[in-house]
Structure 1
Amino acid sequence: MNKSGSTEPVLNATFVRPASFYLNGFSNIPYTKYYYVFLCFIYITTVVGNGFLMSVIYLVKTLHTPKYMIVFSLALTDLCGSTALIPKVLDTFLFDRRYIVYEACLSYMFFVWFFAFVQSWTLVTMSYDRFIAICLPLRYHNIVTKTAIATILLVVWVFSLSLLTAAVGLLDRLSFCGSLVIQSFFCDHGPVYYLACNDTSLNTTIARLIIIVIMIIPPVLIALTYVGIAIVLSRIASGVERLKALKTCTSHLILVAIFFLPLLGTNLAAVTSYIHPNARIINSTMTHTIPALLNPIIYSLKTEEIIFLPGTKLLINASPK
């Protein structure tokens, strides 16, 4: 709002900056509040699961390894990403507070996509760890050190911060003189800049760059690491050894699939053709929430170092991989 407390757009010689946007959410679908209650349960489970996993990794010294530095980073990213998105979604639609201040909208967008970016490249870092462990096992401890992993993760966080800052900052040069209704459940990048009434070519370019850097390059790099792994495994004579090596990769591959496939499908459809806003909302919410929910279960808690047995306490092996 402006100084007078009204919701009129702020005007100057070059652009029209709105005081607030309106988040439309689902359209013509009854009982949508039950869907948001479902997201609430997902969020609670995500916080408990990832919080517990981070606590275990922090407290158990045998898990202070490069591999679990990556797992800890993924759990932290999942926790922060879900916290950046779901509570605000619940506040917006369960309590019908659909107007969001312009500056808050940009911040909202930044944090949701920042943590999605970090999660994407953390999965790449995990594939690098598996590639070295299987293809260069004798050199693993010399290559995959705590310093090396810390450096990689720091680069991922800094690069993510830089790219998303540029993408969100470029929105500030746009003029919003028409509709202020965002056809999404949060301040998504595409639905926001589509509302602008001046030149958005630069925003389109950086949106495509983000799609390439977050959604295309990472799965390509992951695929290349698994090609290398497959070549090495094909040379192993023992079927038991092949199976054991593959088991160390299945959890990671499941994570990659549940994260990248919906993300790629939704955003490529939005860029190249048309996707109904309701379909985009469902796909986007699942993409931003389900991986964070499943990551501790599928990847981290199914490893040999952390094992759950029904009706028993947590068992932690003395010798990590």
Structure 2
Amino acid sequence: MFSGKAWRVERFGTPREAVRLQDMTWEEPKPGQVLIRVRTAGTGFPDLLRATGRFPLLGDPPFGLGEEATGEVVAVPPGSRFAPGDRATGITGFLEGWGGYAQSTYLREVSAVRVPSAMTDEEAGGFPIAFRTAYAGLVERAPVEPGQSLLVLGAAGNSGAAAVQLGKALGATVIAVAGGRSKTEFCARHGADHVIDHRTEDLTARVTEITGERGVDLIYDPVGGETAATTLKSIARGGRIAVIGLAAGTTVPLDSADILLRTYSAVGVLAGPDKDPDVEAAVWSRLTRLAAEQTITTPVGTMQSFIDVPDMIAGQGAPGPGKSVVRLAG
């Protein structure tokens, strides 16, 4: 048995009201689990939704927060491919009430990997969710082909920045959309071929210019709302919009008549492990190989300490550029 502290939602509300530090114990891991001593944990918008009671498939409190974490493996069940002492990163058992904002946590073994030596703990802590989601969108659900155009909304955010990098690795021409100078400069530094500031530029006119009036082949949309609706005006015939999330708080309006007449499609993307463990292992092998080659890398933005977790979660409604990561002492 392992003991320590963990941030957990006691009741729904604002993060500073709802999230409390509690004493916890962790039993020996069951088959399918890996227990780690946490070094870093990635933060994202879903943490804010869960704290406030707006996350799909959500049970009642209490439960832990933090969908991804990195640390040293301290215990494994018989037959595990991990061993104590391994440095591992992966998706936590957050759907079962465990989370990464804790001194120890369980990773889902099917969604965990050994950390490539070139990757820091901070990069590893923010790697699994964003890149697994980008893979689900750009490879599994709405495949982007080399030479096609990929427009990424919220391109300076957790999910968007991963899609920019993975899209480039897949051979797409990437158009990054973000709001404000610091975010557009961030996108340019992280590999976008073209960057549009939706606050100061005419989004439709710029996409028309960039694509030579053809329109974009794929829209990667973790935002929704008005910005997503505007980009739909610029989708190419036969194009796709991959619906990743709703950071704007409202859905992207889809008109079936418009879809019919302009012959595009909308694809929902809710990343999860493939039912075939061999297929899922191949996904993680490809992602970690790209990370080891430094073709993709977690664009770490804000770093905060373990004691500041409620503030970090509260800030996910309007985060700065890059991936937010919590660093645990020791």
- Give TM-score scaled by structure 1 length: 0.25
If asked which structure has higher relative contact order (CA below 8 Å, sep 6+), I would say 1
**Structure ranking higher in strand proportion:** 2
Larger Rg, first or second structure (1 or 2): 1
